[in-house]
A and B are shown apart, each in its own frame.
Chain A
């Protein structure tokens, strides 16, 4: 840490990709075209649950302009009894997600794809495909899926020895929960529900796939990982990875939702069959019907405390919707729920429940906001009953360095207590409230992540720098990397180009997700840059004919280490680059690592709301996010993550939900009726960055992006409780719910 002088780290530099993004030049996936390109469209299931008895594509194929058709028969089948994990996914479910196989499992499930010379012809051809369905009863909500007579989605899933829609469980325990509750002076237990929420990225899924006559394939697509695109497309099409080059387009938002693929295997097969480049772009309606939101949930949370507020036991049982195929984020829910607290006796248990909705995908701290919601709401009630400040209650129980978490690990150095103390001291927390206003707080945790990353740093012949990494930049990570590389090399950040390589030009790099990108990529960039500095020092030593150990790198130039090393004028990066051939030749260094040392992140939110009792609207009027980020390499983009997470949390809390009709069809598949926060819904979102550097990272980075969603829904809910004295246990707390609760309150008073 001490070696960092901080000329560039912590500076609000201009991002490397910025100009292209404010001038319209940046190429997102749907912005790429090719000569001879044709268009792909998808036929989707009109039923929420149906056996696919047959698919006849002959009429579609006969339509003039149609060049190829794809169905599940063209996709590699992964039998349901053999797990094939790939990251957090399982190819058994991915192959059935991309194209329905035995059954259509939700309304909008992809059935077939068509490529034609125009989008209109492709759509017309989709309508000509004849599918024979045997329509089955469907289950949308968790309670429907768990009911005694529930339709069973998959006959291969059993639970307690019986066919079931429970596809898996995960449990963490610590101590003796029953004994802990027996010791408590106050025990609060409540049931909660949260709704499935879509990531809401503004850019719909899109890809362009071109196949050459020799079978070599190029994929341009919008994803959170070009290597994931390559691996999944290869597995689902049977094409070797070496024949697929996946090029990451600029990505227009993902938030976890682009850690899986939908269109690429279809486009790959259509391109292979037709010999033409195929472009596929989802409509917003398709995004809403067929791509994964996060799970909806129900939960029961029970916490016991002594009179002084010390928690004696805590328990959270969670049921999470997986959608039509297994794989809800129960790990995040049961792992993160109790993590902020030092709990002697704790238990969390999660159930993965399938029902006839689109398969869920990762969404920002997957599962953690669901886990935190009930816990942070119950703590609010406990503080209320004990007459204790809610931040004091959290401080009394806060996890610290050395605390053994209920989910297993013993925490290292971290800044949770600092976030609570900063919240207590914050002007926001101490500001007066007006009529109909209320204030709430909540905290949250996310694991953060390391994993595989690759970087190549090259010195150009004119003495500038090109850095290539393997992670799509979803929110400014290139700017952070430029700062770090400039710091290490001691040169102006504008001399450094930071690029995202494709699968053919950079080594394997895992997904952009889990708040891992800056953490992991800065490790490999730092390693590569250090190797380059060593090379530059060796070159200078050779030129000066002194020992390499006697050369130091300072302010962008090689200098003799001290008087004993000799008297030489410094050699700049430009001078050394020009003389590279006098030593080892071109100057560059690559690093490929499986990075470790990511440490969890904690944050605390303060939210003020004002209720309009006539309309039932809860308006957020002030909001502050406080978070330990380890090290804010580029503070603007750190703040941006904190603000963006908070805004999404407000959407979860107040508005966002899918409405289903009785046939199991989403009734609000667009931005008008699926109401995400707009500018006029929100106040400024204040941020308070806490920096307790991660000792296991060269720059102290911890990871930022996930945590700011986790506490938010509970902070908003607790603020509404503070304003109205009413506990809302079901999200979203939309105007009809508030009006109904206010009427109930009035009726009770009369």
Chain B
């Protein structure tokens, strides 16, 4: 198989790599680029553990081809904190124990950030439906939903 040359931006840094034509973005991130924060729970778009953003839009990395990232901007969980400074969602997830095993956490954080970027004041129902594509088997979602709502409230307050 002839490899494809991809030039892209990942977490704000320019990146170049070669990939197979049928290689998913998730495999490229995890197996080629050393970015293992996005997880594979299903590879069929049903669990959200592989959530990343493509030009700011939430996507499942397992449903995207690596070659499709050419000329676009990818953000993964590794790019969420700025150095030592955690994103407010990351801090709130820690404070509220919104994770147990933590395998779903990168996906939830990326998805929740995409929600708050779009809608800084979501209702509980909106949060629940937005995150319905992210599976968590440990928490029952209660603390995750609360963490997202609380972060939204704090970020609104800070923005004022």
Contacts and interface: CB of A to CB of B under 8 A. Distances in A.
Interface of A: 12, 14-15, 17-19, 21-28, 30-31, 33, 199-204, 250-255, 281, 283-284, 474-476, 479, 634, 636-637, 639-641, 643-648, 670-672, 676-682, 684-685
A23 B90 CA distance: 8
Nearest to A472: B101
Contact of B141 (A12, A672, A682): A682
A201 B143 contact: no
B142 A23 contact: no
Contact of A646 (B31, B49, B78, B140): B140
Interface stretch (B2-10, B104-112, B150-158): B104-112
Contacts of B18: none
Interface in B36-70: 36-44, 46-47, 49
Best-surrounded residue of A17, A22, A639, A684 (most CB of chain B within 10 A): A22
Contacts of A252: 39, 101-104
B137 A648 contact: yes
A477 to B, nearest CB: 10
A679 B101 contact: no
Best-surrounded residue of B41, B47, B103, B104 (most CB of chain A within 10 A): B103
Given A475-B138, A647-B141, A679 B128 contact: yes
A426 to B, nearest CB: 17
B26 to A, nearest CB: 11
Interface residues of B, number: 56
A637 B101 contact: no
A284 B42 contact: yes
Nearest to B134: A679
Nearest to A22: B90
A33 B125 CA distance: 40
Contact of B77 (A24, A283, A672, A682): A24
Contact of A24 (B38, B127, B131): B38
A670 B137 contact: no
Contacts of B141: 647, 677-679, 682
Contacts of B28: none
Given A27-B36, A203-B101, A682-B141, 15 more contacts: A23-B81, A30-B30, A30-B36, A30-B40, A202-B49, A204-B41, A251-B101, A252-B39, A252-B104, A284-B43, A475-B138, A647-B140, A671-B46, A678-B133, A680-B131
Contacts of A474: 100-101
B119 interface: no
- Chain B interface mostly: loop
Given A14-B94, A670-B44, A684-B142, A644 B99 contact: no
B25 interface: no
Contacts of B38: 24
A680 B124 CA distance: 9
- Chain A interface mostly: loop
Nearest to A24: B37
A169 B37 CA distance: 46
A23 B80 CA distance: 7
Nearest to B1: A120
B42 to A, nearest CB: 4
A676 B76 contact: no
A22 B143 contact: no
28 contacts: A15-B97, A22-B99, A23-B90, A199-B137, A201-B137, A202-B39, A202-B101, A202-B136, A203-B39, A203-B101, A204-B40, A250-B103, A284-B44, A636-B97, A637-B100, A639-B143, A643-B140, A644-B139, A647-B140, A647-B141, A671-B44, A679-B134, A679-B136, A679-B141, A679-B145, A682-B140, A684-B142, A684-B146
Contact of B36 (A12, A31, A479): A31
Best-surrounded residue of A15, A202, A284, A479 (most CB of chain B within 10 A): A202
Best-surrounded residue of B94, B95, B99, B142 (most CB of chain A within 10 A): B142
